[in-house]
Amino acid sequence: MEKVSLKKTASSSLLEENVLNWNLVQKSFEKSFGSEIYSSWLKNISLIKEYNDHVILGVKTRFFRDWITSRYADKILGELKKHKISITRLEFRIEPEKTGNKSLFSNIQENKISEIKNSILNYNRLNPNLNFDNFVVGQSNNLCFLSAKKTCSQLSRYNPLFIYGGVGLGKTHLLNAIGLELSKNNTVMFISAERFMYQFIKSIKKNEMVNFKDFFRKANVFIIDDIQFIRGKEGLQEEFFHTFNTLFDQSSQIVISSDRAPNKLDRVQDRIKSRLSGGLVVDIGSPEYDLKLKILRKKISEYQNFFKESPDLQEEVLSYVAKNSNSNIRELIGIFNRVVAFGKMSKKPLNVNDCKIILRDVYNSNKVISIDKIQTVTSNFFSISLNDMLSPRRSRPLARPRQIAMYFAKKLTTRSLPEIGRKFANRDHTTVIHAVKTIEKLLQNNEEIKKNVEELKSLILSDTNAISN
Ligand code: ADP
Ligand code: MG
């Protein structure tokens, strides 16, 4: 035992001798890239992990990563080598901001709205980039937008204002905008229900419930995001109910968001549901085509203002993206960023076909693929029956597709080898290993197999109904 721990200390101190001083590295970035590039792109890079021959660096968004790797990677590596000669490789990892939403083009200033003595409770954050001015209005969100504006100009007229709708439709953006607007003349409390619970539990543990209650009572505007989080949490509901009543009785404005209507909040006490629906309830709809287009145009103009150059996007590309993205605005903006970044990297304006590929990537990255689907698509592709493909027969026209299907089962799903074996008419896991190896080898030197596998892969990843099971 003794020996092991000694060894550990020795090797870790050895490592330390070689550790990069990130502050110094940053300084040299600034010197060699110039302060403009440095502050726009490199300043926020963090050092996540360092090995002898390579480092893992953290960036906030995919867009930053793509941008930095396409333009500055070589030079960054060169700089790092000056500090540590053994480094030969860089890797970037995306480490998104943990709190709140973040607009792509600017840094969040943490905006403390109310003066709170107790530092534990000091978590009130509004994002200055999510305001009314950059909230694009269309048919589907007009009512919500107007209600939010009205709430700001006539406090307590609608109390509470309850906004509900699906993911990524702009609820948090609107709540934040209300908070920003009202914080000019009011004490605003803006918190997610999850955070509310966290503080609540912490206060109980530290015997600080009096502070907790006092703190919320001070607000004359109380904004709580994602209230659906309290479902099934009795203690939290109890506390929320009292907070709500206290605030309501002192005529504080209350604004709430939720992913569903008040009466659909199952496992929430009836008395709370009735409180929630006692003011104005509005739903934010899925964006229509025109709104999506308007949002894309807005993003282009934000981009132009920020980068002083125009992203080269043709009208047909915009309308393709608006038509083919689904109803989530967060995702729409993600696709926009991707299209712009790819356009930049390929140094030519993108056409609709390029966009198809980009969008397919976006949608496939979080799709769950089943072994059943792989088997059906593969057997269809090779024009053999599923039964034959799964049968014990070993002739090449059956065995090859079977192996390819096993290969995909391994590569595109998270199933274990024995599970895959069972799905292939109870074969042993060693058969699966053999299949995967065989295909991997063939992919290196057999053009026909390679072409088939690539085509097949895009079929499996696509949502074509003609081949669904
Ligand atoms: P939700 O809270 O409903 O899940 P968010 O408010 O977080 O959605 O919105 C997701 C992203 O889309 C945010 O970046 C937000 O700024 C943006 N967004 C949503 N609706 C609009 C809109 N109408 N105009 C501009 N940006 C929007
Ligand atoms: Mg939200």
pLDDT-derived band of residue 74, with 50, 70 and 90 as boundaries? confident
**129 Cα: distance to centroid of ligand 2 (angstroms):** 14
- The best mutation among 130, 144, 167, 173 to test binding of ligand 1, ranked by most ligand atoms within 8 Å of the C-beta, falls on 173
pLDDT-derived band of residue 366, with 50, 70 and 90 as boundaries? low
Task: Report the CATH number at residue 22.
Answer: 3.30.300.180
| pLDDT digits 0-9 by tens, 79-95 | 998 888 888 888 888 87
Task: Report the CATH number at residue 306.
Answer: 1.10.8.60
Ligand 1 atom 23: the closest Cα is on which residue? 136
Residue 38 resides in a domain:
yes
Ligand with smallest separation from the Cα of 164: 1
- Preceding omega of 401 cis (within 30 degrees of 0): no
Q: Measured between alpha carbons, how far is 312 from 315 in angstroms, rounded to an integer? A: 10
Ligand 1 atom 4: the closest Cα is on which residue? 168
- Asked if 344 and 375 sit in the same domain, the reply is no
What percentage of the chain reaches a pLDDT higher than 90? Answer: 48
Task: Report the CATH number at residue 458.
Answer: 1.10.1750.10
Q: What is the mean pLDDT of the chain?
A: 83
Contacts of 412 (CB under 8 A, 6+ apart): 369, 374, 457, 460, 461
Task: Report the CATH number at residue 247.
Answer: 3.40.50.300
- Asked if 380 and 434 sit in the same domain, the reply is yes
User: 219: how many CB neighbours lie within 10 A of its CB?
Assistant: 23
Of residues 18 and 463, more confidence is placed in: 18
Contacts of 51 (CB under 8 A, 6+ apart): none
Of 145, 20, 150, nearest in space to 81 by CA? 20
| pLDDT digits 0-9 by tens, 44-72 | 899 988 888 889 999 887 767 877 887 78
Residue 192 resides in a domain:
yes
Question: According to the model, what pLDDT value does residue 12 have?
Answer: 37
- Asked if 316 and 234 sit in the same domain, the reply is no
Residue 229 resides in a domain:
yes
Residue 108 resides in a domain:
no
Phi then psi for 43, rounded to 5 degrees?
-60, -40
Which of 283, 313, 346 delimits the end of a domain? 283
Q: Measured between alpha carbons, how far is 431 from 406 in angstroms, rounded to an integer? A: 9
Q: Judge whether 176 and 209 are in contact, CB under 8 Å.
A: no
Q: Ligand 1: which residues within 6 Å by Cβ?
A: 101, 130, 134-136, 141, 167-173, 295, 329-330, 333
Q: Measured between alpha carbons, how far is 233 from 268 in angstroms, rounded to an integer? A: 8
Domains identified in the chain, total number: 4
Name the token pair of 256.
């709430």
> For 313, which DSSP code?
-
| pLDDT digits 0-9 by tens, 283-329 | 999 999 999 999 999 999 998 888 888 887 889 999 999 988 877 89
- The best mutation among 171, 330, 335, 337 to test binding of ligand 1, ranked by most ligand atoms within 8 Å of the C-beta, falls on 330
Ligand 1 atom 26: the closest Cα is on which residue? 135
What's the whole-number mean pLDDT along residues 101-110? 31
- Quote the pTM value: 0.59
Question: According to the model, what pLDDT value does residue 364 have?
Answer: 61
Q: Tell which atom from ligand 1 comes closest to the C-alpha of 329.
A: 12
Ligand 1 atom 16: the closest Cα is on which residue? 173
- Asked if pLDDT for residue 220 goes beyond 60, the answer is yes
H or E segment at 192?
strand 188-192
Q: Which domain holds residue 198?
A: 142-283
Residue 126 resides in a domain:
no
Residue 122 resides in a domain:
no
Q: Tell which atom from ligand 1 comes closest to the C-alpha of 130.
A: 16
| pLDDT digits 0-9 by tens, 389-434 | 999 999 999 999 999 999 999 998 888 899 999 999 999 999 999 9
Which of 254, 283, 312 delimits the end of a domain? 283
pLDDT-derived band of residue 112, with 50, 70 and 90 as boundaries? very low
